[in-house]
Amino acid sequence: MAKRGYHHGNLRQALIEAALDLITEKGPTGFTLSEAAKRAGVTPAAVYRHFEGREDLIAEAARQGYEIFADVMQYAYDSGQPSALSAFEATGRAYLAFARKYPGHYIAMFESGISVNRTPELAAVSARARRVLEQAAADLSQHIPPEKRPPASMFSAHIWALSHGVVELFARNSPGTVAPFPPEDLLESGIGVYLRGLGLIGPDQ
């Protein structure tokens, strides 16, 4: 791969882009800061002007990933309006689409072991993404009688877990795992089962 050129002021981002490539290729623990520096076309010493270590670099990749993720989720939610059902289903599909389009960010966010509470900035943007799905769940759960209504945070956590499971098991080409159906179909049918169980869609939908 050709080295990325850089100018004064964007070396930091060049290192993040190099790290994202390496995370995608080798995993979050499969590369060194020296490799990231080489990929970015700089000396290893230059990395330490911007990042204290590899985890610091990965955390910034994760933060940027959450920024994109939150925007993608918000766009999906908005695109489904004014239907609460369409908005909710769109956020589930957006999760899968994000994982496919931004694998390096996804791994940094969810598979690197970096805590979302590592920095205030990372915590804030991850919370923003979570709030979008919780809002979609809250909108939809208004159609459930109060005595049967799960908390929106639980409702959204179930769908997040379902979406994450489909991505991890069937959308990321995990060794030895063969998807019995396309991941999109698995996710859509799984969400359908869940929503039917809550009485939010009919048995034939």
How confident is the model at residue 180, as a pLDDT? 79
Cα gap 72→78, rounded to integer Å: 10
pLDDT in tens, the chain (205 residues): 434 444 445 888 999 999 999 999 999 989 988 999 999 988 888 888 888 889 999 999 999 999 999 999 999 999 988 888 888 888 888 999 999 999 999 999 999 999 999 999 999 999 999 999 899 989 988 888 888 888 989 988 998 899 998 888 887 766 556 777 888 888 888 988 988 888 887 665 5
Check if CATH label 3.40.50.300 holds for domain 1-51: no
Task: Please tell me the pTM assigned to this model.
Answer: 0.86
Instruction: Give 33's Cβ-side CA count (13 Å radius).
Output: 17
DSSP string, the chain: -PPPP--TT-HHHHHHHHHHHHHHHH-TTS--HHHHHHHHTS-HHHHTTT-SSHHHHHHHHHHHHHHHHHHHHHHHHHHTTT-HHHHHHHHHHHHHHHHHH-HHHHHHHHTS---TTSSHHHHHHHHHHHHHHHHHHHHHHTTS-GGGPPPHHHHHHHHHHHHHHHIIIIIS--TT---SS-HHHHHHHHHHHHHHHTTSS-TT-
CATH of 58-197, one of 1.10.357.10, 3.10.20.30, 3.20.20.140, 3.40.50.1370: 1.10.357.10
How confident is the model at residue 60, as a pLDDT? 94
How confident is the model at residue 173, as a pLDDT? 65
Q: Break the chain into its structural domains and give their ranges.
A: 1-51, 58-197
How confident is the model at residue 203, as a pLDDT? 63
Q: Which two tokens stand for residue 60?
A: 């910034």
Cα gap 49→54, rounded to integer Å: 13
How confident is the model at residue 195, as a pLDDT? 87
Q: Do the domains at 1-51 and 58-197 have one common CATH topology?
A: no
